[in-house]
Each structure stands twice: as structure tokens, then as C-alpha cells.
Amino acid sequence: MKLKISKYVIVVPFLIALINVNAQTTNVKLSGIVKYDSIYLQDINILNKASNLGTSSNENGLFTIYAKEGDSIMFSSVVFQKRIIKISNTHINSRTITVYLEPDFYQLDEVMLAKKVFINWRDAAVTKGAIFENDEISNSKAPDARKLTDPNANAGGINPFAILMMLTKKNRLKRKAKRLELKIEHEEIKHLKNDFSNTIKNLYGAIFFKEALHISEDNIYLFLDYCEGNGLNNYYKSNEIVIKNFLILQAKKFNSIKN
């Protein structure tokens, strides 16, 4: 009887140790999400450096990967800084992992796009009789035709139309200024949108298209035309991270078509 008890005393701790070792060496399926602030990041490269197996995040920033405690998971992207997460016992127990990435400051410094206003003088509203170059004749006052032809002109009197024009002059000038302001703003937005592709190319340069997007220099304008067809110009007011994410997604589609 004593011999049997001693056998159990030896076997039970051995089984417990075996279970613990097995748990630490067995890969488990982890469900994860990748974010930047409140933005869910798509197409982030995710690699388990221990097993050399990887995946990527979907349009909602979600991914799944197999790992065990102690494994190092690397998250990398063209737009964001590389980050390595070491899998802990907490990750294994919860079967989840949440990762926040920061923008890659290899990016260009913030650039202010200069606002340029182009006025089409053929469509510009110009007061009839406006003088663009003054000379001695144009500066001289024209004779009062009414006084020359109407004998009652010098008798004085009230002109209701002149009073009405005087009272409404301020409001008319305000409305005219507002219309001109809206027209200039419309022309400005139109110009920024139409020139956005050139702005992108000049801002990022050929190296970005070649190394980050795998677009050859000969195909850059063809690629930008493709992006315009998919709504690139609507991003003219967006920040650089959103623009680059859009370009990366479009580059994958473009390259798949070209290949």
C-alpha cells in the first residue's frame, strides 16, 4: 500500500509539469486588431518571427495568427513604424491581442499647399463702362446732360430712385462681395482638385512610387490617372496617412491588373 501511494506522489507532479510545458510550447489562435488612434488599419504586415508565418489585417483592422507564449510578433507597414509585440501569458489566456501603431516619421514634413486663385476674365463680372487705364480725359467729369436739356433740372426736387439706391447701396455691395467670394472659393477648390495628382507626384517623388507602391517611373502618371478614376481628387483635404493608405490600396489593384 505504501508503495502504491509513493508511485502516485511521483506521477501526479510529473503530469502537472508535462501539461504546463505542453501549454507553453503549443501554438494557440490569437484574434487581434491593429489601430492608429480611432482608425482601423488595413493591410498591415504581421509576422510571427518564431514560426516565420504571417498574415495581414483586413479593412476593419482585424487579423488572426497562431503563436505561443514568448513568441515575437512583428507589425510593419510603409506608412507606420515597425512594432514588435512579445506574446505573454495574458495574450494566451485571453486569446486576443490589440496593437496600436504610430506614423512613420520617415514621411515628409508637413507641407502647406499654396492657395492660388485663377480668374477667368472672360467670365468675370465687370461693370459696364469700367475704365482700366485712367488718363486725363477719363478723369474729367462728363457734362450733366439733364441740365443741358431739361429746363427744370436746376429747380431742385427729390429723386425717389436715387434715394432708394443710396439706402440699399450697403446691402448690394455686401451681396456682390459674397458672390465674388463664393466664386473665388469655387475656382480655388476646382484648381486644387484638378492639380492634386501633380501635387502628389511632386510631394512624394518617384522613389516613393517605386519603393513603396512598386510603380515604375514610366507608369506613375498612368497609375495616378487610375487613382483619379477611383476618387483620388476627393482626398485633396485629407491628411497624409489617409492619402498614403488610399494609394497603397489602389497600387495593389493597379499592379494586379498590370500583371
| Averages of pLDDT over each 10 residues, the chain, 259 residues | 50 54 74 92 94 93 95 93 93 94 65 52 54 55 58 56 77 81 76 84 90 91 92 89 92 87
Grid coordinates representing 169 are 447701396
Q: How far apart are CA 213 and CA 229, in angstroms?
A: 18
Task: Name, in order, each residue with C-beta under 8 angstroms of 233's C-beta and a sequence gap of 6 or more.
Answer: 193, 194, 196, 197
Phi/psi at 125 (5° precision): -80, 120
Q: What's the CA gap between 91 and 68, in Å, rounded?
A: 9
- Amino acid occupying residue 137: I
CA distance 6 to 18: 19
Q: What is the pTM of this model?
A: 0.44
Burial of 45 (0-12, 13-18, 19+ CB in 10 A): middle
Q: Which domains does the chain have, with CATH numbers?
A: 27-100 (2.60.40.1120), 108-140+169-259 (no CATH)
